């Protein structure tokens, strides 16, 4: 006798058997002969021919009656005549276990033990779907197989299921040399005891699922985020499908927990896995998902510099040495950056990834612009006109951001790389420009926090937005600037209402995030006395930007007015007598240039500058200094005034 040549032949023989069993007048002799031939054919079929029924029976350790009921459910679903026969006899829409037992009774007589098994915890009930009108009587339960069982039996394939994705290792997979200690712990859990679920906690993108796949040889990934809109019954069906795939493939279930999922959902999954002795790994970024009986492994939120370099060289072995991003990134961010950098290198016809390709990739990553404006600095320290004391402090900030590790050579304890500073003073004195100059000096991009997006009236949302901003700043190695920072880092108040309590919690969280930031965090404000005192004590530098004196103002005037566009000798010393900030001096130069354009002239004269200066001073109710007013000739003054009003 020859065995089956493929799985389809096996299923067709089962179909013929149950067609004989469902006949109006069952011939017991023919049924027994068919069943014996079917078993003999399976015995002589070599193990190299994968038979789904045999594999299913062995993986789930099915008794004979359970095995025959599974095949009965399959053939009833495959054959319309079998369904018609059932409906005509019972008048029901779905076949039941009672009908299945009657169908297989010539091959496996009913016994009292079968009914006892059905009332207890048995494997068969895990392979069957349930209904919203689930009966307490086991014989009346529907005999309908889960989709995973049907797909496997009929085609040795995996079903396309909502929120379920089998993660199977590929021969070409190159695992990254990171988190080796965590890999060993997961392997130890999987090999020595899985009676309790394993919780793998870490930020999204830190390689949690890849770690499970590498340690366990694969995983059935179950996304909890897709369960929020499902009913309890549909969730139960989905959990059963995942359990069946886990059992068939001999790999654990990897549940990706979402804080929006019902709390009862994860408990139901744990109960199901415990019932069928299935290993369960729950990956989450929240401690809220933890249960009392579990093993927990916490992954770091970011790679060390050595791990980051290893991941980069694994992905891009021929990349230029200076192309490695130097931000604090998790493995997902490094992989995304490497993929984009390779694409830009190909587009630019580079033989390997260069530094400019990496910079381009960092700017265009999806997370680079979250809650902030990301741009290259436009000013340098040479462009700044500031007092010697302010320039000295700015140079110290730049040095502090670069020399941290070298402090240990000086015998000074090295705590962290982060540098925090607050720039305070009147508007227009150069605080934002100084932040630009620091970023340019350090060769880092500037991330200007957008407070309109960060601040949120709902509890917890401000902290979440700030956390995402800080993550982007770390990944892209940015100089982080908070303008008008007193709105975020204000003083904590006494608690008199629930709003005060949550406002204080927000402030405390913000202070902690800034203090732990390992880059350069700059805060600018006009109201330093509005800052929380505890936070000010933690800042390394407090730089006061005062109004420039007459000497500095003269330098600012000379820089603001291009020498090749001046019509006559401009009295810079006299212009410096007007007490203006750098921003307002630049504004006067702009107004004078526009006045010259309106007159169709190519150069700016003194009268135009003085008229623009007078208009600027009038915003604060001030008049031109006497020595400047005397320079204005009345006809020129009237003519220019008419032009400016026209503008």
User: Which of 2-11, 37-46, 55-64, 371-380 is the least confident region?
Assistant: 371-380
CB 553 within 8 A of CB 561: no
Predicted pLDDT of residue 634: 47
Measured CA distances, 600 to 194, 405, 527, 587, 645 (Å)? 84, 59, 44, 20, 16
574 pLDDT higher than 50: yes
CB 232 within 8 A of CB 198: no
The single-letter DSSP state of residue 492 is: P
What tokens does 152 get?
């496997």
CB 62 within 8 A of CB 126: no
Tokens 């510099």 locate to: 305
**Percentage above 70 pLDDT, the chain:** 85
Predicted pLDDT of residue 362: 79
Predicted pLDDT of residue 404: 64
502 pLDDT higher than 60: no
Question: What is the rounded distance in angstroms from the CA atom of residue 178 to the CA atom of residue 201?
Answer: 16
User: Which of 460-464, 557-561, 574-578 is the least confident region?
Assistant: 460-464
Rounding to the nearest 10 degrees, give the CA dihedral for residues 495, 500, 505, 508.
-80
Q: Read off the pLDDT band of 440 (50, 70, 90).
A: confident
Total length of the chain? 647
Q: Read off the pLDDT band of 459 (50, 70, 90).
A: low
Give the CATH H-level superfamily of domain 164-298: P-loop containing nucleotide triphosphate hydrolases (3.40.50.300)
Q: Note the CATH architecture for domain 305-366.
A: Orthogonal Bundle (1.10)
Predicted pLDDT of residue 639: 52
Q: What value does the mean pLDDT of the chain take?
A: 82
Predicted pLDDT of residue 493: 47
Predicted pLDDT of residue 52: 92
374 pLDDT higher than 80: no
- Give the residue, 579 or 494, on which the prediction is more confident: 579
Question: What is the rounded distance in angstroms from the CA atom of residue 379 to the CA atom of residue 602?
Answer: 27
Question: What is the rounded distance in angstroms from the CA atom of residue 473 to the CA atom of residue 542?
Answer: 22
Predicted pLDDT of residue 306: 85
The stretch 56-81 carries a mean pLDDT of 90
Chain centroid to CA 4: 49
51 pLDDT higher than 90: yes
The winner for highest mean pLDDT among 94-98, 166-170, 218-222, 516-520 is 218-222
Tokens 């006899």 locate to: 89
Q: Which of 164, 146, 147 has the alpha carbon at shortest distance from 227? A: 164
Question: What is the rounded distance in angstroms from the CA atom of residue 594 to the CA atom of residue 253?
Answer: 69
Residues of the chain with CATH 3.40.50.300: 164-298, 381-544
The stretch 157-181 carries a mean pLDDT of 80
Predicted pLDDT of residue 498: 41
The stretch 392-421 carries a mean pLDDT of 77
CB 126 within 8 A of CB 172: no
Q: 57-70 in b/e burial notation, b at 16+ Cβ within 10 A?
A: beebebbebbbbbb
368 pLDDT higher than 70: no
Q: Can you give 529-572 as a three-state secondary structure string?
A: HHECHHHHHHCCEEEECCCCCHHHHHHHHHHHCCHHHECCCCCH
Per CATH, the number for 381-544 is 3.40.50.300
119 pLDDT higher than 60: yes
> Does residue 165 sit in helix, strand or coil?
strand
Chain centroid to CA 124: 39
497 — phi, psi (to 5°)? -135, 170
Rounding to the nearest 10 degrees, give the CA dihedral for residues 156, 159, 160, 165.
-90
Q: 546-559 in b/e burial notation, b at 16+ Cβ within 10 A?
A: eebeeebbbbbbee
- Give the residue, 91 or 395, on which the prediction is more confident: 395
Strand partners, 422: 523, 542
Q: Which of 373, 532, 356, 342 has the alpha carbon at shortest distance from 454? A: 373
Q: Read off the pLDDT band of 490 (50, 70, 90).
A: low
Ordered DSSP codes for 511-525: HHHHHH-SSEEEEEE
According to CATH, the topology of domain 550-646 is Helicase, Ruva Protein; domain 3 (1.10.8)
Beta strands in 213-349 (DSSP E): 219-223, 253-256, 280-284, 295-298
Chain centroid to CA 330: 10
The stretch 303-314 carries a mean pLDDT of 86
The stretch 563-572 carries a mean pLDDT of 85
Residues of the chain with CATH 1.10.8.60: 550-646
Q: Read off the pLDDT band of 507 (50, 70, 90).
A: low
The stretch 2-8 carries a mean pLDDT of 90
Predicted pLDDT of residue 372: 64
Read off the pTM: 0.68
45 pLDDT higher than 90: yes
Q: Read off the pLDDT band of 252 (50, 70, 90).
A: very high
The stretch 330-352 carries a mean pLDDT of 89
Tokens 């500037």 locate to: 446
The winner for highest mean pLDDT among 99-103, 113-117, 176-180 is 99-103
Question: What is the rounded distance in angstroms from the CA atom of residue 167 to the CA atom of residue 214?
Answer: 10
CB 513 within 8 A of CB 472: no
- Give the residue, 591 or 453, on which the prediction is more confident: 591
Q: Read off the pLDDT band of 632 (50, 70, 90).
A: low
CA angle 583, 584, 585 (to 5 degrees): 90
The stretch 407-418 carries a mean pLDDT of 67
> Does residue 297 sit in helix, strand or coil?
strand
Rounding to the nearest 10 degrees, give the CA dihedral for residues 404, 405, 407, 409.
-160
CB 595 within 8 A of CB 643: yes
Q: Which of 6, 57, 72 has the alpha carbon at shortest distance from 247? A: 57
Predicted pLDDT of residue 253: 93
What tokens does 110 get?
């009913």
Kindly report, residue by residue over 201-237, the tens digit of the pLDDT. Answer: 888 888 888 899 989 999 999 988 877 778 888 888 8
């Amino acid at each position: 006798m020859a065995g089956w040549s493929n799985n389809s032949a096996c299923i067709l023989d089962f179909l013929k058997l149950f067609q004989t069993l469902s006949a109006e007048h069952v011939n017991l002799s023919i049924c027994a002969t068919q069943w014996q031939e079917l078993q003999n054919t399976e015995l002589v079929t070599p193990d190299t021919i994968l038979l789904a029924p045999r594999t299913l029976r062995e993986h789930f350790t099915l008794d004979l009656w359970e095995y025959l009921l599974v095949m009965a459910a399959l053939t009833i679903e495959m054959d319309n005549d079998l369904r018609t026969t059932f409906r005509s006899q019972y008048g029901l829409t779905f076949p039941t276990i009672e009908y299945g037992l009657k169908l297989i009774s010539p091959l496996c007589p009913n016994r009292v033990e079968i009914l006892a098994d059905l009332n207890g915890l048995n494997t068969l009930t895990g392979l069957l779907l349930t209904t919203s009108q689930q009966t307490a009587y086991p014989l009346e339960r529907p005999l309908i197989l889960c989709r995973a069982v049907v797909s496997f039996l009929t085609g040795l394939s995996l079903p396309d299921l909502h929120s379920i994705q089998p993660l199977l290792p590929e021969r070409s997979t190159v695992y990254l040399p990171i988190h080796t200690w965590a890999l060993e712990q997961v392997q130890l859990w999987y090999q020595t005891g899985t009676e309790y679920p394993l919780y793998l906690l870490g930020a999204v993108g830190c390689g949690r699922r890849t770690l499970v796949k590498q340690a366990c040889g694969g995983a059935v990934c179950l996304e909890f985020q897709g369960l929020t809109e499902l009913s309890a019954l549909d969730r139960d069906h989905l959990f059963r499908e995942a359990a069946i795939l886990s059992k068939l493939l001999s790999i654990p279930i990897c549940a990706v927990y979402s804080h929006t999922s019902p709390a009862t959902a994860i408990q139901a999954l744990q109960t199901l896995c415990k019932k069928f002795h299935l290993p369960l790994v729950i990956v989450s970024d929240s401690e809220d998902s933890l249960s009392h009986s579990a093993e927990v492994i916490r992954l770091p939120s970011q790679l060390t510099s050595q791990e980051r370099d290893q991941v980069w060289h694994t992905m891009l072995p021929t990349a230029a040495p200076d192309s490695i991003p130097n931000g604090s990134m998790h493995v997902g961010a490094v992989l995304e950056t490497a993929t984009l950098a390779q694409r830009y290198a190909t587009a630019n016809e580079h033989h390997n990834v260069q530094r400019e390709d990496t910079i381009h990739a960092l700017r265009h990553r999806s997370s680079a612009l979250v809650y902030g404006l990301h741009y290259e600095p436009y000013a340098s320290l040479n462009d700044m006109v500031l007092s010697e004391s302010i320039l000295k402090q700015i140079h110290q900030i730049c040095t502090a951001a670069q020399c941290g590790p070298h402090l240990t050579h000086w015998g000074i304890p090295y705590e962290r790389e982060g540098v925090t500073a607050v720039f305070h003073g009147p508007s227009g004195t150069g605080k934002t420009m100084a932040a630009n100059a620091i970023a340019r000096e350090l060769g880092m991009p500037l991330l200007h926090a957008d407070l309109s997006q960060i601040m949120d009236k709902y509890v917890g949302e401000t902290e979440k937005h700030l956390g995402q901003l800080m993550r982007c700043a770390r990944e892209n190695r940015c100089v982080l600037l908070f303008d008008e920072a007193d709105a975020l880092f204000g003083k904590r108040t006494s608690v008199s209402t629930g709003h005060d309590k949550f406002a204080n919690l927000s402030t405390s969280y913000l202070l902690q995030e800034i203090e732990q930031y390992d880059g350069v965090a700059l805060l600018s404000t006009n109201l330093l006395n509005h800052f929380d005192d505890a936070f000010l004590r933690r800042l390394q530098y407090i730089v006061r930007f005062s109004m420039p004196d007459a000497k500095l103002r003269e330098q600012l005037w000379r820089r603001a007015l291009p020498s090749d566009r001046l019509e006559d000798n401009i009295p810079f010393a006299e212009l410096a007598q007007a007490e203006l900030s750098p921003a307002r001096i630049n504004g006067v130069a702009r107004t004078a240039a526009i006045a010259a354009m309106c007159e169709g002239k190519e150069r700016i004269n003194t009268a135009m500058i003085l008229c623009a200066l007078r208009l600027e001073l009038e915003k604060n109710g001030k008049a031109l200094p006497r020595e400047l007013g005397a320079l204005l000739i009345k006809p020129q003054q009237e003519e220019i005034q008419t032009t400016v009003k026209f503008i």
